Amino acid sequence: MEFVGDSPGDRLGFSVAGVGDLDFDGHDDLLGGGFSRGGSREGHARVFSGAGGSTVRTHGGA
């Protein structure tokens, strides 16, 4: 599987962690975090499904 951010240089994947089965599909999911988004220094995190890699949740911060 390949996990990608919203744009080049958004640093998604700077931090990664296994987070258990958040979407209750029987597969452990993965959290990827970054510290730049859309040219800003806004942090963000994305939860990816362990079953197929689709995005389960996206969280942005200031």
What is the residue extent of each domain of the chain? Answer: 15-60
Tens digits of residue pLDDT in 5-45: 777 777 888 899 999 999 999 999 999 998 875 666 778 88
CB 54 within 8 A of CB 46: no
Residue 44 pairs in a beta bridge with: 34, 60
Residues 6+ apart with CB under 8 A from 49: 23, 25, 27, 29, 55, 56
pTM assigned to the model: 0.79
Residues 6+ apart with CB under 8 A from 7: 37, 38
Within 1-62, residue ranges assigned H as helices are: none
